[in-house]
Structure 1
Amino acid sequence: MTAEQQRLLDNANKTVPLERWGPYLSERQWGTVREDYGEYGDAWGYFPFEHSHFRSYLWGEDGLAGISDYFQNLCFCVALWNGKDPILKERLFGLGNYSGNHGEDVKELYYYLDNLPSHYYMEYLYKYPQGLFPYKKLYEENKKRNRLEPEYEILDTAAFKNNHYFDVKVTYAKQHSNDVFIKIDITNRYHRAADITVLPTLWFSNKWSTDEKQIKPVLEYVNNNCVHAWYNRLGDYYFYFTQADDLWFTENETNKEKLNGSANESIFVKDAFHEAVVNNKHKKKLREKKNGTKCAAVYDLHLKAQETKTIYCRLVDGYVDNAFFDGFTNLFDQRKREADEYYNAIIPSSLTEDQKRISRQAYAGLLWSKQFYAFDVEQWINGTDGITPVNNGKKFGRNHDWVHLKNADVISMPDKWEYPWYAAWDLAFQCIAMAAIDPVFAKHQLLLIMREWYMKPDGQLPAYEWNFGDVNPPVHATAAWYVYNIEKKRTGKGDVQFLKRIFQKLLINFTWWINRKDENGNNLFQGGFLGLDNIGVFNRSHHIPGNHQLEQADGTAWMGMYALNMMDIALEIAMHDDAFEDTATRFFEHFVLIAEALNEQHTWNEEDKFYYDVLVMHDGSHQPLRIKSAVGLTSLFAVSTIHKSSLARLTDFKKRITWFENYRKSKNRFWPNEEKSDSEEILISLVPRERLLAILARLLDEAEFLSVGGIRALSKDHEKNPYSVVIDGHTYSIQYDPGDSTSDMFGGNSNWRGPVWIPLNFLTIQAIKEFGDFYGDSVKVEYPTGSGTYLNLRDVAKELAYRNINLLGLDASGERRSHETYNWFYKQPGNEELILFYEYFHGDSGKGLGASHQTGWTALIAELLYEFS
């Protein structure tokens, strides 16, 4: 057992399996719903980036390369100034929805290099320009670009030309859970000497300004190398740092003069360090102040060309006489070795060095994206931030019917800038990826989002902060099943108790779906966001044109998958507890009815041999929306096999499904099972064999769904043949759109009209593999379609997995497809191993698009590497 495995074993016995200190600090708190107390639900406008350095937050904190305790009482980050910027660099910069031509977007270069689940070792790299940071250029250029033009990124500016920047690498190594050593390496990458000011900063989250009952914490001067931190919620901590040029104290409180022109009580406000560093104001007073709620050691460094200088800090829960004892730096080497040992036990040795690097950085990003999230909707609706009074716009606006939601937990986020909040279906995929490195935390997260302070009393799960009431695909049973099996496969032991706990919660959510999304009771599901933002000709989550009804092929397929996963879970539990056997029967029968509806009502189009959404008109006629998209591909996901030996042990289940099969076949009704005389498995699938082959012919066609990077969300055929439909005299259209969204739908911040999305690719690949395991060599298909080369479905799944993997992998010329036009930067010495995990990828080129640090679901590539190595 490695040292890290032992730590995780110890944490597994805690009520909440977390270390007190970790990367729980957000990278953006401004522009979030939680900080918006305005009347109009305009989070971007109410608390913009321009306010973030002088205005204190109510619900969370943010910082650069930072950490906090798991209730985010005390925070640490690194602040920087290159001598030219108009603001002190304390947090990441990006564009809001108003200024980005494709929605919000971070405009920084930073990388998650390493992390352990216990956070005993963490590495983070930030690249800081030595010239003026191009805030203005990035804003102005993106503002004037339209949706048909690409986003203007920081590497499009001159900021990093000729290596005119600093590398700031922050490394954390714990001596024990409450003793964190910090190493800050600053490297001058330029060919000339350069100056930089570095401020390791410690501060308390402001919980006292709007709550008189809160005891105000304090940071107090001990000596020139030590600060004492005390808070009744946290206890005593001491912050040590190597010899600095200065030590300053201020308060983490809003600069009211800058905000609205009113007077401050003193100069000691949140942006006092900014004023001192950038505008040379009040340095003497900051030095003379000996306590506060925010402090920083100040280092004015001069670095020769290519020189590296190092600053050390330490945060520990007790006073020590010799904070930086002889040989303390060996701790960083020891923890690094332990990280290597841990990942060597997890990542297959058969992978190439670059593939191992992809896996390691995928896991690092997944772990760096754990974030403390606090939001009490009732308090938020009825409270004030001291700036804007309580107003009806908020009382009856966004999320007003989610007053039960009271969150204060560390949660796995999609990322910590673009998504500084959890998203229900993202979380499910994140847990699948997390299961390989920390299954206990993965299980805890799935159970957490189904607890009563998250799930609505009627069973609906919160979608995401912007609108908790939106509906995401019901993938949590899928995630629970994957997490269970990943842990069982890698450890040899399955956690049946976890399955029992989550099954009860899933039952409530499943019932909500049945009651709320199947209005006609015909097992065809309607309405809802369903995750595939702008994949249709109109916004499927809002008012359907003409008040007609939309029967969704993907909504129905998702529910088929849900029922089948619930059956699988119930059967697994029934092997240990026969009380679940009849529940498994219920979900099997429900699956059969959903499969019948999908295949025999209106969604299958025999002419095109594809599944489509269908618009049900007022006169009862049906209008198929003949869009070849992921909507039709989701039908593949609901597939499973039952071993005949298991059936022999589940006598009641076997008896019931045998009767059900005989009954339905005698009535010439649809039956989803398939058996082979030479197989011990029974296949259960939404898609009959002949329809499966028809769908695969399209899916594996490079002129349709198959791209260099995997499966597109929309067929490329719609590039030459856009689809239009006239509904009540209005024309709605869609065409293949392989890159950033050219539609305003959902803010233009994502695109399902052509790009490659890893979560849908993952489910597609796993489904094809499941079919392949059953059919073996008895079913072979052309890969690619029209090539004359035939592969069995297991090999097809492997080939598709490697198309996904090769989006990030180095090719023969030392380039990564996802970096595309920026490979010039990533081929420079020192940058070759840096990888970004994008939200989605261009449907033709494979270029990374959307959120650049979406190591939530894009980390699934690590699981593909493990499974198909």
Structure 2
Amino acid sequence: QAGQIHIRISAANRGAEAAVLHLLPSCWCRNTWAWGDDAGEKPKLVAAQAPAGAAWAVQIKVEGLGEYYLYGRQTAQLLFTENDSNAEALWGLRNRSHYVKDAFHRRVVHGEQGAVNPAHSGSKFAAWHTQTVEPGAQMTLEIVLSEGALQTPFADAKALFELREREADDYYHGILPDKVADQNILRQALAGMIWNKQFYHFDVARWLDGDTSRPPQSRKAGRNRQWRQLCASDIMSVPDSWEFPWFAAWDMAFHALPLALVDIDFAKRQLEMLLREDMLHPNGQIPAYEWAFGDVNPPVHAMAVLKLFRMERVQRGAGDHGFLRRTLHKLLLNFAWWLNAKDSDGHGVFEGGFLGLDNISVYDRSQVLPAGYRLKQADATGWMAMFSLNMTMIALELTVEEPDYEDIALQCYSQFLTMANVMAGNVDHSPSLWDADDGFFKDVLVTPEGDRHRIDVFSMVGIIPLFACEVVEPRLLKNAPRFEKMLMAHAGGMFDGHSICACPAHTNERGEHLLSLANHDMLPPILKHLLNENEFLSPHGIRSVSRIHATHHDLGWLPAIGRALIEYLPGESNTGLFGGNSNWRGPVWMPVNYLLIETLMKFHQYLGDNFEVEVPCANNCKMTLQEVSYLLIERVTDVFRRDKNAHIPAFASDSPHQNDPHWQDLLLFNEYYHGETGQGLGASHQTGWTGLVANLLLMKHDKPEKT
């Protein structure tokens, strides 16, 4: 019903003995009155007369929100207090009120009756339910939150729940038919995306300055002090609302893609949120994450913007050009920040920064090298080349209706060509990041004397340049004659007399152009590494570091770095680097697997079924790139499916999710997965970017990503 939320809470006794269960569903108002400001009228929760069918009722009054009511169907003891910290217990200071935030704990656990307000009013409330639950039985509570008073809040509750369940079944059937065994995976992935929404409020200037009711603290010079303009106050999609209850820039870009399957308007708002004036730094940098807004995550925002535009065009028959325009203008600021901040010599090869792949390198790449030394990063430059092509495509999409955007397409594509030229080693003394002997992209260390030292690591670093790939349809060139002329001028990927990228002189049978950092001659050797089970290919996707480094981990001596070591660690990290709870040296990570699969599908769109590669994991038989993509989708999604032994790889063998009848159909979506066994690691509810499995399932079933 409009203005109503019906809630049902069930808790079961899975033990062998009867037990007393205490359940306290709670409601509270955010504390805005203790900041020392004029906060207006203080919110108030007060016991009210229970209507027919309800055992209790609470009236909620919040200035600006109006009047709400909370109703409970089962008998309970009502507890009220204030949502104020217990200053006396915490800091030895006088409490603002006798009734404070820890009152319910003191009442229930310690039996302190004076802890709660006998007047049944306050800013925090709990309904204390107690029941002896027999083995195998369960306790169920029903609650209704309504905007305004209701006369019979539970009159239609049973029918309403049944209706909503049918509607949900019908809705998801429309996304993926229920006869498909993978629907359980898709539904739970999308449920996890919705679960990880939360209200996030962080006013950096206010935090640094301190409350007006007390003198400023030393944190004026604390972390994020360069981000005083940032004032977040919105509902955000967070990586894991339990373990990572804050936004992360590149996570949020990936979150938008599965969210768009069920709520594309919310997904678009998420992407625009980080580009608003109260989030984006004046210099154009997108805030990375709460711990250090000034850190650097991969520039994937434009990728997500372009993807959402295309998804909405499928869903609704037309893309949102206003969304494209608004985001493009802000992303140009971010693009300029990257060009100025991370390309130290202006040559178009990028270096430095955290870049989200934590410990993947032979040293901590967020640290500064000695003067004169430079680490030219294949992944950083690959990300930026992808960013350039994403921006080019956004501008071309806008050119269809507004030809003036052709200038931006020209500028962004020019930047891409510059990056491709330098990455190929054709400018001054810049090193080529392509190792033709090994058929892979690699980082290069340059000394002050200009000596070059290739870092012979086979990792995700060398795969990322593939992601710079787009297909230009003929319709995008109708209002872009100068851009088409530029394509012809650089036909065959020619730039200053060198062939630097895959921008073929000819179109395919549909008249499409390919724009790509890697040419089709590079694909077979790269895929030979990726599709080899003794290298990158695990039973559950592409590993972040090749398995060959299990034995080949000593890379010799590198100037300014020392002994260069790279380990293959398919599970959790064995060091404290970046907190120790993240590992890019072997595990399977969903976002980069998703981008790789998307990229191979783009190459297939242009190259077609006649282009095939040898697949080592399939006895070197030849496959199209679409078939390779489907092979990878199967492996990635297998982590959630039961294998021939009825075992789900994502869970440990002793997990209740394997065989317990109450848990065996419930999935968790982890941060990353073991590179050998597929067991889920890291944050256990990080549906976030792991929710991309929903997009992959639709791709596998040849169904457009639409609702």
- Answer whether TM exceeds 0.5 for this pair: yes
Distance 1:729 1:667 in 2: 36
- Are 2:154 and 1:324 aligned? yes
380 and 649 in structure 1: CA distance in 2 versus 1, 3 angstrom threshold: closer
Give the equivalent residue in structure 2 for 1:379. Answer: 206
The equivalent position to 1:568 in structure 2, one of 377, 386, 393, is 393
Distance 2:657 2:322 in 1: 49
In the TM superposition, residue 596 of structure 1 has moved relative to its aligned partner by: 1.6
State how 1:593-742 maps to structure 2 within 5 Å: 593-600=418-425, 601-644=431-474, 646-647=476-477, 650-661=480-491, 664=494, 667-674=497-504, 675=506, 678=509, 680-724=511-555, 725-728=557-560, 730-742=562-574
In the TM superposition, residue 728 of structure 1 has moved relative to its aligned partner by: 3.8
Residue type at the aligned position of 1:706: L
Give the secondary structure class of the aligned counterpart of 2:558: strand
Q: Are the equivalent residues in 1 in contact too, given 2:23–2:129 (CA < 8 A)?
A: yes
- Are 2:612 and 1:780 aligned? yes
- CA distances 1:405-448 after superposition (whole Å, capped 9, x unpaired): 01111111111122111000000000111111111111111111
In the TM superposition, residue 310 of structure 1 has moved relative to its aligned partner by: 1.8
Give the equivalent residue in structure 1 for 2:163. Answer: 334
Deviates more, 1:394-403 or 1:460-469: 394-403
Give the secondary structure class of the aligned counterpart of 1:487: helix
350 and 665 in structure 1: CA distance in 2 versus 1, 3 angstrom threshold: farther
Q: Are the equivalent residues in 2 in contact too, given 1:246–1:287 (CA < 8 A)?
A: no
Q: Are the equivalent residues in 1 in contact too, given 2:508–2:606 (CA < 8 A)?
A: no
389 and 228 in structure 1: CA distance in 2 versus 1, 3 angstrom threshold: same
The TM-score, its normalising length taken from structure 1, stands at 0.76
Residue type at the aligned position of 1:746: F
State how 1:88-99 maps to structure 2 within 5 Å: none
490 and 812 in structure 1: CA distance in 2 versus 1, 3 angstrom threshold: farther
In the TM superposition, residue 265 of structure 1 has moved relative to its aligned partner by: 5.5
Q: Are the equivalent residues in 2 in contact too, given 1:726–1:732 (CA < 8 A)?
A: yes
Q: Are the equivalent residues in 1 in contact too, given 2:362–2:565 (CA < 8 A)?
A: yes
423 and 636 in structure 1: CA distance in 2 versus 1, 3 angstrom threshold: same
In the TM superposition, residue 660 of structure 1 has moved relative to its aligned partner by: 4.1
Distance 1:858 1:505 in 2: 27
- CA distances 1:155-201 after superposition (whole Å, capped 9, x unpaired): xxxxxxxxxxxxxxxxxxxx21x321211122222232211011111
Distance 2:57 2:74 in 1: 10
State how 1:438-587 maps to structure 2 within 5 Å: 438-544=263-369, 548-587=373-412
232 and 350 in structure 1: CA distance in 2 versus 1, 3 angstrom threshold: same
Q: Are the equivalent residues in 1 in contact too, given 2:545–2:584 (CA < 8 A)?
A: yes
- CA distances 1:361-384 after superposition (whole Å, capped 9, x unpaired): 111110111111111100100104
Residue type at the aligned position of 1:407: A
Give the equivalent residue in structure 1 for 2:118. Answer: 288
Give the equivalent residue in structure 1 for 2:175. Answer: 346
Cα RMSD after superposing both structures: 2.1
In the TM superposition, residue 709 of structure 1 has moved relative to its aligned partner by: 0.7
Give the secondary structure class of the aligned counterpart of 1:238: strand
784 and 297 in structure 1: CA distance in 2 versus 1, 3 angstrom threshold: same
Distance 1:744 1:191 in 2: 42
Distance 1:598 1:760 in 2: 21
In the TM superposition, residue 825 of structure 1 has moved relative to its aligned partner by: 4.4
Residue type at the aligned position of 2:473: H
Identity %, equivalent residues: 39
747 and 583 in structure 1: CA distance in 2 versus 1, 3 angstrom threshold: same
In the TM superposition, residue 778 of structure 1 has moved relative to its aligned partner by: 2.6
732 and 566 in structure 1: CA distance in 2 versus 1, 3 angstrom threshold: same
Distance 1:265 1:398 in 2: 30
Give the secondary structure class of the aligned counterpart of 2:15: coil
- CA distances 1:564-586 after superposition (whole Å, capped 9, x unpaired): 11111111111111111232122
Distance 1:618 1:857 in 2: 40
Q: Are the equivalent residues in 2 in contact too, given 1:548–1:617 (CA < 8 A)?
A: yes
Give the equivalent residue in structure 1 for 2:184. Answer: 357
578 and 630 in structure 1: CA distance in 2 versus 1, 3 angstrom threshold: same
Distance 1:502 1:676 in 2: 30
Distance 1:518 1:728 in 2: 20
Residue type at the aligned position of 1:301: Q
Q: Are the equivalent residues in 2 in contact too, given 1:661–1:671 (CA < 8 A)?
A: no
Distance 1:561 1:729 in 2: 29
- Are 2:144 and 1:297 aligned? no
- Are 2:219 and 1:390 aligned? no
Q: Are the equivalent residues in 1 in contact too, given 2:434–2:441 (CA < 8 A)?
A: yes
In the TM superposition, residue 612 of structure 1 has moved relative to its aligned partner by: 1.2
Q: Are the equivalent residues in 1 in contact too, given 2:443–2:454 (CA < 8 A)?
A: yes
- CA distances 1:259-278 after superposition (whole Å, capped 9, x unpaired): 13445465521111111111
Q: Are the equivalent residues in 1 in contact too, given 2:539–2:678 (CA < 8 A)?
A: yes
Residue type at the aligned position of 1:436: L
- Are 2:670 and 1:838 aligned? yes
State how 1:160-171 maps to structure 2 within 5 Å: none
- Are 2:249 and 1:424 aligned? yes
350 and 246 in structure 1: CA distance in 2 versus 1, 3 angstrom threshold: closer
Residue type at the aligned position of 1:770: K
The TM-score, its normalising length taken from structure 2, stands at 0.93
242 and 644 in structure 1: CA distance in 2 versus 1, 3 angstrom threshold: closer
Residue type at the aligned position of 1:718: H
521 and 435 in structure 1: CA distance in 2 versus 1, 3 angstrom threshold: same
Distance 2:309 2:493 in 1: 34
Give the secondary structure class of the aligned counterpart of 1:302: strand
In the TM superposition, residue 663 of structure 1 has moved relative to its aligned partner by: 11
- Are 2:653 and 1:828 aligned? no
The equivalent position to 1:866 in structure 2, one of 676, 698, 702, is 698
Distance 1:760 1:333 in 2: 39
Q: Are the equivalent residues in 2 in contact too, given 1:714–1:754 (CA < 8 A)?
A: yes
Give the equivalent residue in structure 1 for 2:704. Answer: none
Give the equivalent residue in structure 2 for 1:251. Answer: 82
851 and 671 in structure 1: CA distance in 2 versus 1, 3 angstrom threshold: closer
Distance 2:274 2:356 in 1: 17
Give the equivalent residue in structure 2 for 1:203. Answer: 28
Q: Are the equivalent residues in 2 in contact too, given 1:672–1:686 (CA < 8 A)?
A: yes
Distance 1:646 1:211 in 2: 56
State how 1:117-266 maps to structure 2 within 5 Å: 175-176=1-2, 178-214=3-39, 215-223=41-49, 225-264=56-95
Q: Are the equivalent residues in 2 in contact too, given 1:602–1:622 (CA < 8 A)?
A: no
294 and 679 in structure 1: CA distance in 2 versus 1, 3 angstrom threshold: closer
Q: Are the equivalent residues in 2 in contact too, given 1:463–1:471 (CA < 8 A)?
A: yes
256 and 650 in structure 1: CA distance in 2 versus 1, 3 angstrom threshold: closer
729 and 293 in structure 1: CA distance in 2 versus 1, 3 angstrom threshold: closer
Distance 1:853 1:663 in 2: 44
Q: Are the equivalent residues in 2 in contact too, given 1:523–1:594 (CA < 8 A)?
A: yes
Corresponding pairs, count? 688
Deviates more, 1:806-815 or 1:666-675: 666-675
The equivalent position to 1:754 in structure 2, one of 586, 593, 618, is 586
Give the secondary structure class of the aligned counterpart of 2:21: strand
In the TM superposition, residue 613 of structure 1 has moved relative to its aligned partner by: 1.3
In the TM superposition, residue 478 of structure 1 has moved relative to its aligned partner by: 0.4
Distance 1:207 1:666 in 2: 62
The equivalent position to 1:790 in structure 2, one of 616, 622, 637, is 622
827 and 785 in structure 1: CA distance in 2 versus 1, 3 angstrom threshold: closer
Distance 1:683 1:617 in 2: 36
Structure 2's unaligned 5+ residue stretches are 51-55, 426-430, 702-707
In the TM superposition, residue 645 of structure 1 has moved relative to its aligned partner by: 5.4
